[in-house]
Amino acid sequence: MKIKFNQRLFLIIVISCFYVNYASAQHKEVDIQLTATKLTSIALDAKIDSIIKILTLEEKIAMTHAQSKFSTKGVARLGIPEIWMSDGPHGVREEISWDSWSHAEWTNDSITAFPALTALAATFNPELSANYGSSIGEEARYRKKDVLLGPGINIYRTPMNGRNFEYLGEDPYLAATMVVPYIKGVQKNGVAACVKHFALNNQEHWRDKINVELSDRALYEIYLPAFKAAVKEAKVWSIMGAYNKIRGQYACHNELLLNKILKTDWSFDGVVISDWSGAHTTEESAKYGLDIEMGTGTDGLGTSTANHYDNYYLAKPFLKAIKKGVLSEDLLDDKVRRILRLMYRTNLSFNRPLGKLNNKEHHEVALNVATEGIVLLKNEDDFFPIKDDKTITIAVIGENATRVMAPGGGSSELKPQFEISPLEGIKKRFKNAKIIHTMGYSSGPSVYDEVIPTKLDQDSLYVKAIKIAKKADVVLFIGGLNKNHLQDCEGDDREIFQLPYQQEKLINGMHEVNKNIGFLLLTGNAVEMSWLPKTKGVLQTWYLGSMAGEAIAQIISGDKNPSGKLPFSFPKKLKDNAAHFYGETSYPGVNMTQHYKEDILVGYRWFDTKKIAPQYAFGYGLSYTNFKLSDIKTDKNVYSLTDKITVHCTVTNNGNRQGAEVIQVYIGKLNSDVKRALKELKGFKKVFLKSYKKETAKIEINVSDLAFYNEKISDWAVEKGTYSIYVGNASDSISEIIKVTIK
Ligand code: BGC
């Protein structure tokens, strides 16, 4: 075929245009990535501004909303990458399909399941939190994730909240102290942590509509401190908005929470990501602090339509509003600036480590958190530890002895490479004793679990369990809750405070034939314990992930000495809990609004102040050895506002086993001008001691941290006068009270 001269000329022009474009795109890609190596933050901001200038409106819009269930678009022509996210917070979630919630069925995405965050909180050990964070960060990096959607740090307000197991307990100081090292650990891998759910997502029931009304004091003193620590101390790179409303406005685009508190007062320079379908209007998403909109339904609204992601509030509707001049392009540029900053910290960072998955070290971290998190609640007649003796028959009874837990619970579901069940762990450790096992009760069919022998009905399971309990020297009942809907699971709350599935009836029945019963309580929440007198020993064992069975076996055999402390109070009855005391207006709300009537008196603050005895108090946990706290003193009696209070306390291990005790320092203000809790946790230290050894620990507290949020001046203020310093090993076990004066 002959090509005419002018046709040839045309072709040459087209090809060279293409080449120039291609070459400049290549050049820009190199430019963006390489210059990141040496940039100071000022230079980085300038660099980011220069990138924003060359982005088209459409390209910028595309960066601010989902392109799939867990990713956002990049700009290929400039080498700007996509952002890939994954749930958190207990392990990296298995791959989800591009555009549906079904699992992608990959064969290379199984991970280490770390213990639930309640277990981490119960360790009272920030060092373990750092190891947890860096290990999960390494796994996220290996799985090529840029953002890990966790940790969750909502305050434990009611034991009914289906999602408490994903959080760090009821105390803001404990949650803040534990979350900081976790975030730093994750982020040193070049993976952004995304703390969630900001804020006041304290129940799952009606979570996507409920409006929370509360005082400024409760907001600033109870519900925000852990988030503030995440931003100010850990420098977290992203944060997830909550589903609920706060004072009438949705949390994912909330003027007070996001624009004022987070981005102005705390100078947060990272990215606000919506909870999945947590955005509700274009205007508010644009104006009130949201940077990336993610979604549950393919149109972001919980339903699915064609061209779904284009329908997101921050997609076409946002583009249209800017083009019409209804919304300013500056709003968009601020979001893109934050997104690019996140990229330079993660997927455009020049020195990201490569990550690791399922290695021995990660399993070790999971095991250490699990063993240190288990809390010994009761130990009559030294029921635990149990000897591995040829003469002993141990009946292991209860569905949770064999049930896999990691795959349930909602978005924190995991596909671990393995999960050692309690029964497996016990069988492996107890080689001499005779182990007999039966299920005892059944929670019914589970979407996650295929191990339930459904041939047996509840009655025959009961009869068999009683028979087996009768034959045994020791009964280990392994029950509690599970990760099914309406248990410890996202999406709704528990419906009853009691143990489900007729477990109490079973305990009573077993007690009639065998008085030697120990209970391993696998839950992420407090439960009613009227069955307590029927047991000799109780271990709160949470959800412990991959190494669950091994950790449990180490504790019940005495290879490890329990040292966990409760990160939340166990009420005797539900009404004893502050949120429930005030009835429906307080929980779950009336007409989709709830008032946090207990105000600042959350958890032990309520029990202490109202003089209600809990079943088990915040900070409580026994050991196989005996510790004594003595020589408790402060460095001075009178302090000024800029001082630090130093508390000295000697811990002695008076037993023949090594172990660890947590010294807890609470402070309360006498004769305050404002409402106060009797005392609040302000410091703690876990001390590890060989048998018959002692150590003097030092705990420092800034006087400025004794401030309350003064609603009259909308700022923190320290009251002068006399304070009581309570030092003990639980919120209801105080060894010494010292009075000091702040001048
Ligand atoms: C949860 C988030 C989670 C997201 C993505 C939401 O339903 O509330 O915690 O990160 O889904 O799975």
Same domain for 689 and 599?
A: no
87 Cα nearest atom in ligand 1: 10
Catalytic residue IDs: 275
Q: Which of 147, 153, 275 to mutate to test the pocket of ligand 1 (most atoms within 8 A of CB)?
A: 275
Amino acid letter, 101: W
Give the closest residue (by CA) to ligand 1 atom 12: 411
Same domain for 378 and 299?
A: no
Note the pLDDT of residue 302.
59
275 Cα–ligand 1 center, Å: 6
Query: Which residues have any ligand 1 atom within 6 Å of their CB?
Result: 87, 149, 196, 275-276, 411
Note the pLDDT of residue 24.
40
**Mean pLDDT in each 10-residue stretch from start to end of the chain (743 residues)?**
44 40 41 56 92 98 96 97 97 94 95 98 98 98 98 98 98 99 98 98 97 98 98 98 98 98 98 96 98 77 69 95 98 98 95 96 98 98 98 97 95 97 98 97 65 66 97 98 95 97 97 98 98 98 98 98 98 98 98 98 98 98 98 98 98 98 97 97 98 98 98 98 98 98 97
150 Cα nearest atom in ligand 1: 10
State both tokens at 70. Answer: 């867990």
87 Cα–ligand 1 center, Å: 7
201 Cα nearest atom in ligand 1: 8
Note the pLDDT of residue 298.
53
For residue 737, is it within any domain?
yes
Measured CA to CA, the distance from residue 197 to residue 257 in angstroms comes to: 12
For residue 353, is it within any domain?
no
Give the closest residue (by CA) to ligand 1 atom 11: 276
93 Cα nearest atom in ligand 1: 12
437 Cα–ligand 1 center, Å: 37
Measured CA to CA, the distance from residue 177 to residue 154 in angstroms comes to: 14
The dihedral region occupied by 591, where left means phi > 0, alpha psi between -120 and 50, and beta the remainder, is left
456 Cα–ligand 1 center, Å: 36
202 Cα–ligand 1 center, Å: 14
Per-residue DSSP letters for 450-500? Answer: ----TTS-HHHHHHHHHHHHHH-SEEEEEEE--SSTTSS-TTS--S-SS-S
194 Cα nearest atom in ligand 1: 10
What is the three-class DSSP state of 180?
A: helix
411 Cα nearest atom in ligand 1: 12
Same domain for 607 and 689?
A: no
Give the closest residue (by CA) to ligand 1 atom 6: 276
86 Cα–ligand 1 center, Å: 9
Same domain for 552 and 446?
A: yes
165 Cα–ligand 1 center, Å: 14
Note the pLDDT of residue 279.
95
Give the closest residue (by CA) to ligand 1 atom 8: 275
Same domain for 117 and 253?
A: yes
Same domain for 448 and 549?
A: yes
For residue 616, is it within any domain?
yes
Domain that holds residue 499: 374-566
Q: Are 482 and 408 in contact (CB under 8 A)?
A: yes
Give the closest residue (by CA) to ligand 1 atom 3: 411
- Out of 519, 539, 566, a domain closes at 566
Q: Which of 149, 201, 272, 412 to mutate to test the pocket of ligand 1 (most atoms within 8 A of CB)?
A: 149
Q: How many CB atoms lie within 10 A of CB 427?
A: 17
Same domain for 553 and 618?
A: no
539 Cα–ligand 1 center, Å: 30
Q: Which of 411, 412, 490 to mutate to test the pocket of ligand 1 (most atoms within 8 A of CB)?
A: 411
For residue 365, is it within any domain?
no
Domain count, the chain: 4
For residue 352, is it within any domain?
no
Q: State residue 181 phi and psi, 5-degree precision.
A: -65, -30
Which residues lie closer than 8 Å to 309 by C-beta, 6 or more apart? 65, 66, 67, 68, 295, 298, 299, 300, 315
Measured CA to CA, the distance from residue 307 to residue 301 in angstroms comes to: 13
Same domain for 294 and 421?
A: no
For residue 60, is it within any domain?
yes
Note the pLDDT of residue 179.
99
516 Cα–ligand 1 center, Å: 43
- 724 by Cβ neighbours in 10 Å (0-12 / 13-18 / 19+) ranks as middle
Same domain for 283 and 181?
A: yes
Note the pLDDT of residue 499.
97
Measured CA to CA, the distance from residue 140 to residue 157 in angstroms comes to: 30
Same domain for 658 and 708?
A: yes
Q: Are 265 and 220 in contact (CB under 8 A)?
A: no
Same domain for 315 and 461?
A: no
The CATH number covering residue 501 comes to: 3.40.50.1700
The dihedral region occupied by 631, where left means phi > 0, alpha psi between -120 and 50, and beta the remainder, is left
Measured CA to CA, the distance from residue 136 to residue 150 in angstroms comes to: 10
Residues linked to residue 689 through DSSP beta bridges, in sequence order: 659
For residue 28, is it within any domain?
no
Q: Which of 291, 318, 315, 290 is nearest to 305 (CA)?
A: 315
Q: Which of 489, 490, 492, 493 to mutate to test the pocket of ligand 1 (most atoms within 8 A of CB)?
A: 490
For residue 413, is it within any domain?
yes
What is the three-class DSSP state of 310?
A: helix
What is the three-class DSSP state of 143?
A: coil
Give the closest residue (by CA) to ligand 1 atom 7: 276
- 259 by Cβ neighbours in 10 Å (0-12 / 13-18 / 19+) ranks as middle
- Out of 329, 345, 361, a domain closes at 345
Q: State residue 604 phi and psi, 5-degree precision.
A: -65, -25
Same domain for 518 and 546?
A: yes
Measured CA to CA, the distance from residue 339 to residue 641 in angstroms comes to: 40
